[in-house]
Amino acid sequence: LYPRLRARGLLPSGPLGERQFEVEQLKTRPYASALLGWMQGEPLESRRYEVDIDGVRLHGRVADRHPEGLVRLRAGTLNGNAVIRQGLDWLLANAAGDALPLVQFHDGGDAGPGPHVLPALSASAARAALRALLQLRQRGLREPLRFAPYTGWVLYNAPTEKQRSEGWKQWHGSDRSWGESSSDAWQLLLRGADPFATDASYADLLRNSQVVFSAVREGRAFGADVSQGGGT
């Protein structure tokens, strides 16, 4: 593995690169050990899925399928992007009728490296969650959509009384921490607007975040019709 990482320019040469490789091995070993112990020698496979949601064809090949679940490993804590990627695979497989839990290995704090399991879903529940996401996507094709994965993940996890303040910190950052608003892509998408500037725009950001993460984390459609926009 070390020579391959060196060849791809992911590690420096010499003793410095070797030390960095050792450090990364130590970081990932608990997750890899937990994963291998859970798999019990059963090989992983990929499988192609296809579903139709209100005339929209969703399809893709999902990797790392185990007979007991879809396996996902992340050396560290979950973030919004990882949750969305892993959750979409889980929703697609279950919507297609392959009822499988999502078996995750990541830093779960006191809960350890895993397995952390999201249960299998009925096809109808998975389809309803995907439908909610597609409705949100349709809004995003018509107008700037107030949503960003890191900020949304913070909003989803924070206690109700701290959601706005914790989300604001993730969006704006500080002199010592990265803020998602510093991304040129998000500035372009939102036309430079601050989603925390007004109560109405914040409420829209919060609801969009709840729609996304209720789907990919809980396998459910949040609320009613999400096709209606929020305030401006």
pLDDT digits (tens, 9 = 90+) for 167-193: 999 999 998 899 999 988 888 888 889
Task: Give the integer Cα–Cα distance in Å for 65 and 104.
Answer: 12
In a domain, 227, yes or no: no
Percentage, residues of the chain above pLDDT 70: 95
Query: Residues 10, 66: one domain?
Result: no
**Cross-strand partners of 102:** 70, 118
Q: With 50 as the cut, is the pLDDT of residue 162 above it?
A: yes
In this prediction, residues 54-74 reach a mean pLDDT of 97
Q: Which two tokens stand for residue 167?
A: 């989300």
Report pLDDT for 232. 36
Residue 76 has a CB neighbour count (10 Å cut-off) of 11
Picking from 94, 127, 160, the residue at the C-terminal end of a domain is 127
How many Å separate Cα 94 from the centre of its chain?
Answer: 17
Question: Any idea which residue has 């500080």 for tokens?
Answer: 174
Find the helix packing angle between 80-95 and 123-142, rounded to 10°: 130
In a domain, 162, yes or no: yes
Q: With 70 as the cut, is the pLDDT of residue 120 above it?
A: yes
Q: In this predicted model, what pLDDT tens digit does every residue of 36-61 receive, in sequence order?
A: 999 999 999 999 999 999 999 999 99
The C-alpha angle with vertex 69 and arms to 44 and 96, in degrees rounded to 5, equals 100
Q: With 60 as the cut, is the pLDDT of residue 127 above it?
A: yes
Cβ contacts of 214 within 8 Å, gap of 6 or more: 129, 132, 156, 220, 221, 222
Q: With 90 as the cut, is the pLDDT of residue 107 above it?
A: yes
Quote the domain boundaries for residue 51.
45-127
The dihedrals phi and psi of 69, each to the nearest 5 degrees, come to 155, 170
Picking from 72, 96, 127, the residue at the C-terminal end of a domain is 127
In this prediction, residues 187-211 reach a mean pLDDT of 94
In this prediction, residues 66-71 reach a mean pLDDT of 98
Ranges of H-type helices in the chain:
2-7, 14-39, 80-95, 123-142, 149-157, 163-172, 184-189, 199-218
Query: Residues 50, 32: one domain?
Result: no
Query: Residues 55, 120: one domain?
Result: yes
In a domain, 133, yes or no: no
Q: What is the mean pLDDT of the chain?
A: 92
Query: Residues 106, 176: one domain?
Result: no
How many Å separate Cα 153 from the centre of its chain?
Answer: 8
In a domain, 136, yes or no: no
In a domain, 226, yes or no: no
Please tell me the total count of domains within the chain: 3
In a domain, 206, yes or no: yes
Q: Which two tokens stand for residue 174?
A: 């500080």
Report pLDDT for 10. 75
Q: How far is CA 60 from CA 2, 51, 96, 116, 128, in A?
A: 32, 10, 11, 24, 18
Q: With 90 as the cut, is the pLDDT of residue 65 above it?
A: yes
Task: Give the integer Cα–Cα distance in Å for 48 and 100.
Answer: 14
Query: Residues 9, 67: one domain?
Result: no
Task: Give the integer Cα–Cα distance in Å for 206 and 51.
Answer: 29
What band does 115 get if pLDDT is binned at 50, 70 and 90?
very high
In a domain, 228, yes or no: no
Picking from 67, 96, 127, the residue at the C-terminal end of a domain is 127
Q: With 80 as the cut, is the pLDDT of residue 111 above it?
A: yes
Report pLDDT for 1. 67
- Contact between 179 and 171 under an 8 Å Cβ cutoff? The reply is yes
In a domain, 62, yes or no: yes
Query: Residues 61, 122: one domain?
Result: yes
